[in-house]
Every structure is written in structure tokens, then in C-alpha cells.
Amino acid sequence: MGKNSGLGKTSAETLYQLLMDNMPMKIFYKDPNSVYIWCNDSYAKDLKLAAADIVGKNDHEFYRKDLAEKYIADDRRIMQHGKIEQIEERYVQDGQEAFIRTIKTPVKDAAGKTIGLLGVFTDITSSKLAQIRMEESEAKYRTLIETTDTGFAIIDQVGTILDANPEYIRLSGATALTEIMGKKATQWTADYDREKHLAAINKCFTDGRIKNITLDFVDGKGHTTPVEVSGATIEGGGIKRAFKLARDVTERKAAEKSLEERSIKLENLNQALKTEIEERRRAEEIVSRQAREILEVSIPVVQLWEGIVSVPLIGTLDSQRTQQLMERLLQRIVETNSSVALIDVTGVPAIDTQTAQHLIETIKAVQLLGAQVILTGIRPAIAQTLVHLGINLSNVNTRSSMASGLIFAMDLMGLRVVNKDI
């Protein structure tokens, strides 16, 4: 060595050992029987031993049986074949299982005879665990997209399919991923939605996401499937891609259409019902008006003579007819300034308690106006009924017929009917 080498009196062998011991890589050397001849300190530290405590022993002294047997089997195979191998395997480091990448190479003498094995390995636990997690994540992702009923696809910025799950493949009208891989996603979009689909892809890469875009996909047979598309961009290695979701909304569209049709039917029924109600209302108004007219006709109040009015009643008397009778009779008495009112019940088939009470109330109302009432046409059966009902008509003038009632009324008025000689 030169004077400026800085080695001083350190021998080349000592320097070599110093370098080997301070290297981060683990290095060992075994004889043809896989017995350790030498190892560096980095290797020994992993086993929590000194290098001198490892020399002269084999892997069974340090590792559990299955690992030791594997390591020794690898050694024998490599020394027998005389070829270098790179192996990724599990390893015990600080009492914990780790992952290592080992390069094992056979060591030969000048004559080419294998006299041992040199091993160099590095800890790849972090990268291996990251790889395992990535593989597990990818497996979960693959399982998810393969089994879900939503179509998934990964596309680039121009809409080229990079990956897709079976449901998306079905929606596109294909049967295998190879049929759509590398093709544009707009290729199986209906002509009238193609520009809309392309605009949605551009928006996804511009804004980072799209949501609930409705499109129609058309397969090779011309069958149309309505889908709802959403998506978001993902970036890896400086390259943007879009994660696209497409859901078959055929059933929802059918349900919406059915609901719309039902709404139209209900609206039509509602309109028809309104029309029917309006027609019934008009019909009821007509019937009511006709009933009033019939009631008025059925209760005619006529002036027989000056100061004398008459009401010939026909049919059953109810509350409505009696009220009408009272109103029309009182009004007519006032209009004609009559002092006598004839109420003829010849046309009334029967009189019960309620009918009799209505008559009494009408008679009292007439008397309050200062007029006298003459009740005519009481048949024997009605007279008997009134007696049985206890109806008191003692203050009412009664006559058997309207003619006799009229004569009595004229007498009350001071009038007399005489025969005119011919």
C-alpha cells in the first residue's frame, strides 16, 4: 500500500475482514457438507451470536427443522449443479420471521472442483410485505369487481379499455375481456349517446369525477341496455386513468316507466272522476231544482176569492213539504191580504203524529198573522187517527169538504152566494 493509503500497519486480511463485517449484506461460507466455515458479523448479529460461535455448525443449530432442511437442500442442489441461484425465502431475524433474497454460488478450486458454497443475502422484508399487501389488495379488488353486479372498467384518457369485470363485459355485449380490451368505450354506446359518453369521459379526466350519467349501450345484436355511469380518476406512475362504474338500470327504467304510466292512468282517472263528480253535481242541481219545482207545484196556494186563499194538499206530508207549505201559505196571505185560509187534506192518504204536528204548527203560524184557518177534507179514517193520537183541533174550523169550507169562509167574510135567475 502507498504511504497515503491511511491503512498504517493494518494487513490486507484484517481490512478485508473489517469490510466484510461492516457490509449491510449478510455473507457466509460453507463447506461441501453445509457446515459454516465463515460468516460476517452482520450475519452473526441476526442470530444474536458471535461469528466464532457459528463456525463449525450447520443450519440445524440455528433454525427450526423445516427451514434448516430447506437451506441445506438448496446448498446441495447448487453445489451439485455448479450454478448460481437467486432465492427469495423466509428467514429468522432478531427472533422474527423476515423475507430475504439470497444469492448462493458454488465455490470451486483451481481445478474446478466444488469445495464449498458462498451465500450473500439482503433483507427484503419491507418490499416483500408491501408486495404481499399489494397482491392481497389486488386479489380483494379482483374478487370484488368479479362478483359485483356493477360493471367496472379502467380506461385511459381517450376512453380505451384497459381492464374490465364480467358485468361490464356483459353490458358491452361481449363475452370475454379480450373482445373489448384496447377498444374505445364509446364503441358499444348507442349512436345518439356517443357524443354524450365522450363528453362524460373528458369531464371525468378534467374534473376528477362524474356521477350518474345515463347512457344506452347497444350489443352486436342491436339489443339496447340502459346504464348509469359514474367514474373517478386514479393516478399511478404519473399516468392518469379513470375507474369507471356502469350499472344496468333496465329494471329501474321499467319501474319508472310503469310508475309514469300508472301516474298518467291515475291522472286520467282523477280527471274522469272530477268530470263525473261535476256531472253528478249538475245532475243533482237539476234534480234539486226540479224537486223544488215539483214541490211548489204539489203545494199550490191559490186565491179563491178576495180575502180567501186555499191550499189543496196531495200526497204524504213530510218536514220539507210542511215547511214549504208554511212559507208559501204565509207569503201568499201577506201578498193577498187574505183573512181566511182553507187547507184541504182530501188528497193526503194518512196522517201520523209528525204530520199532524206539522199541520198544527202551520195553523198557528197563520193565526199569528191574524187570519183564520179552515181545515177541510178530513175523512173518517183520518179523524179517527187524530183522535187516537190525541191531536187537539178544537180551535180550528173544520169542514168535511172544500166546498163546504169555501161557503163557511165566504160567510166569515160576510159574503153570500145566490143563484142567478136565468
Quick one: DSSP state of residue 390?
T
Strands 397-399 and 372-376: parallel
Distance, CA of 74 to CA of 61 (rounded, Å): 17
Q: Residue 362 CA to chain centroid, in angstroms? A: 69
Spatial contact of 239 and 205, defined as CB atoms under 8 Å apart: no
Tell me which DSSP letter residue 17 carries: H
Cell numbers describing residue 121 = 443475502
What are the helix (H) ranges across 337-379? 353-368
Closest CA to 374 of 396, 356, 359, 347: 396
Note if the pTM is more than 0.75: no
pLDDT of residue 24: 72
Sign of the C-alpha dihedral computed for residues 392, 395, 399 and 402 taken in this order: negative
pLDDT in tens, 214-269: 999 998 888 999 999 999 998 877 788 998 989 999 888 888 888 888 889 999 99
- Residues facing 151 on adjacent strands: 246
The C-alpha cell of 71 is what? 437451506
- Tell me: the pLDDT tens digits for 111-169? 889 999 999 988 888 877 777 777 676 666 666 666 667 888 999 999 999 988 888 99
Task: For residues 347 and 316, give the distance between their C-alpha atoms in angstroms, rounded to a whole number.
Answer: 9
* CA gap 401, 97 in Å, rounded: 130
What is the tens place of the pLDDT at every residue in 277-293?
998 888 888 887 776 66
Contacts of 159 (CB under 8 A, 6+ apart): 184, 185, 186, 197, 198, 201
For position 145, what pLDDT does the model report? 61
Alpha helices in 104-181 (DSSP H): 125-147, 166-172, 177-180
Helix (H) / strand (E) element for 54: namely helix 51-54
Express as a percent the part of the chain with pLDDT over 90.
35
